[in-house]
């Protein structure tokens, strides 16, 4: 049976190559992680489009969406007769974007934002409410 060749020269050239190219790791969070443009990140409903149908909540596999009343003091579109909207809990969400796909009026705004770690509860309410004008403005 022929003897295997020693792997030493191959390892040596690999070590030299890695010295020349620098580390493969990055200094996150000081350096941002490169991500695909269409990666699924934080999303929220644009309440100027949402009709409050609740379909996104029904279809969410992670039970991450709650339908809640729109607070007083905002101009709510007439089509949203029940004046409710979906709030996405970003800690429960699995970022499948099923909610985005089923929305009949394409109300979801999608982003690639993935840096969502927080000590406080994190959800889409603030972003969604910011899509509405205040009454009297």
Residue 120 CB, nearest distance to ligand SF4 (Å)? 19
Q: Which long-range contacts (CB under 8 A, 24 or more apart) does 29-38 make?
A: 29/115, 33/114, 35/112, 35/114, 36/112, 37/112, 38/112
Q: Which CB, 2 or 37, lies closer to ligand SF4?
A: 37
Chain mean position to CA 31: 20
In degrees and rounded to multiples of 5, residue 99 shows phi and psi of -60, -40
Q: Which CB, 10 or 105, lies closer to ligand SF4?
A: 105
- Sign of the Cα torsion 87, 89, 90, 92 reads negative
Residue 101 CB, nearest distance to ligand SF4 (Å)? 8
Q: Which CB, 105 or 116, lies closer to ligand SF4?
A: 105
CB 50, CB 106: distance < 8 Å: no
Residue 34 CB, nearest distance to ligand SF4 (Å)? 22
Residues in the site for ligand SF4, rule: CB under 6 A? Answer: 45, 50-56, 60-62, 64-65, 86, 88, 93-99, 103, 105, 107-108
SS3 label, residue 101: helix
Residue 92 CB, nearest distance to ligand SF4 (Å)? 7
Q: Which CB, 70 or 93, lies closer to ligand SF4?
A: 93
């Amino acid at each position: 049976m022929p003897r295997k060749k020693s792997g030493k020269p191959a390892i040596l050239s690999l070590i030299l190559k890695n010295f020349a190219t620098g580390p493969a790791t990055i200094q996150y969070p000081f350096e941002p992680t490169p991500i695909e443009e269409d990666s699924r990140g934080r999303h929220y409903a644009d309440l100027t489009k949402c009709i409050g149908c609740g379909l996104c909540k029904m279809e969410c596999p992670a039970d991450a969406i709650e339908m809640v009343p729109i607070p007083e003091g905002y101009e709510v579109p007439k089509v949203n007769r029940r004046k409710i909207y979906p709030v996405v809990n970003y800690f429960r969400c699995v970022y499948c974007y099923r909610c985005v796909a089923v929305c009949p009026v394409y109300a979801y705004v999608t982003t690639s934002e993935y840096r969502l770690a927080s000590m406080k509860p994190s959800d889409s309410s603030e972003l969604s409410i910011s899509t509405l004008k205040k009454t009297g403005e």
